[in-house]
Structure 1
């Protein structure tokens, strides 16, 4: 799947990287205070950098990166793609932090993002959480630091094209394999 991204045309939904499960988000989650959120682990920070290195090593074009404002997702995006501007759409705000009446709106917005073709010969990366994608598509991203890849059809729909396990990013980032 990583090799297919070289040609562009995909929306990559990257689940935030490995987090420190010894800490939990304080309910309600305070998006402005990272100290009250479950952070990335040191391994997660290192792996997020590997994701960026894999994209660079394989010459995978990325037009833009959109990330959840939750610190572990925002930090994943920043570490993986430090040279790209990042934005935070409503669709990627951690759905467990949203009032129930906003869940449908966020899911609709995420479905629109997944169905929107990126610029020709490029890709768009969304960095978010399991719950957002589950609300929008019924698909639960299994691994922290893994990705699901969607192909927009240009007519308002999309299909799941494949997945990328965390280990695939590590292998692609290794100079010995490229």
Structure 2
């Protein structure tokens, strides 16, 4: 976002985000090293990877930067039922603004060994969800998981935001931007 064109582009993107109409698909904050347990239980955070201290800081910063940029958000925030995604939402947007949706576990499962029919069904459902336009003048936030390389929205870094423009049911969606936390800061700094 450097140079005069970068400044104009960031201003234009920020103005568009302030107008609403987008879906922000965000990967949760940095999680602890390790793996989710075979006996994974969504009500027991000890059976799964959780946010690291860095991940907690990332989540808090994410919520702050969106508020500073005056980006209108639709509540509640949609999230996967994993503890790390729920905690990301709570730290970024407040504990009363969480709506866990079991569908997002299916995105997590894409990294495993799925039969092609199950993978296709999950990706078709994702397509349908990303075609739904948010309420007028607001942006919808979904905090969930990364995708395998070349599938869905592709690999996503910790707290990276994929900005999606829904085109309406059955009409698809368009990926507008991929923004890291540093990109969001630059967008705010250059776009205000």
TM-score (norm 2): 0.77
Deviation at 1:172, TM superposition (A): 6.3
Distance 1:35 1:172, change over 3 A: farther
Q: Deviations over 1:112-162 (max 9, x none)?
A: 211100011100001111138965x2x323311111110001243101111
- 1:7-18 to 2 correspondence within 5 Å? 7-18=19-30
1:35 is matched with: 46
* In 2, Cα distance between equivalents of 1:89 and 1:160: 22
CA offsets 1:55-101 (integer angstroms, 9 cap, x no match): 11111011131000011111111111116532122321232699947
The whole-number CA distance in structure 1 between the counterparts of 2:54 and 2:130 is: 29
| CA RMSD between the two structures | 2.8
Alignment of 1:1-178 (within 5 A): 3=14, 4-21=16-33, 23-64=34-75, 65-82=77-94, 85-93=97-105, 94-95=108-109, 100=114, 103-131=119-147, 137=152, 139-156=153-170, 157-170=172-185
Aligned residues: 173
Paired with 1:5 and 1:87, the residues of 2 have a C-alpha distance of 22
Distance, in Å, in 2 between the alignment partners of 1:134 and 1:115 is 20
In the alignment, structure 1 segments of 5+ residues that lack a partner are none
Say which one has the larger Rg.
2
The answer (yes or no) to whether the contact 1:28–1:97 under 8 Å persists in 2 is no
Unaligned segments of structure 2, at least 5 residues = 1-9
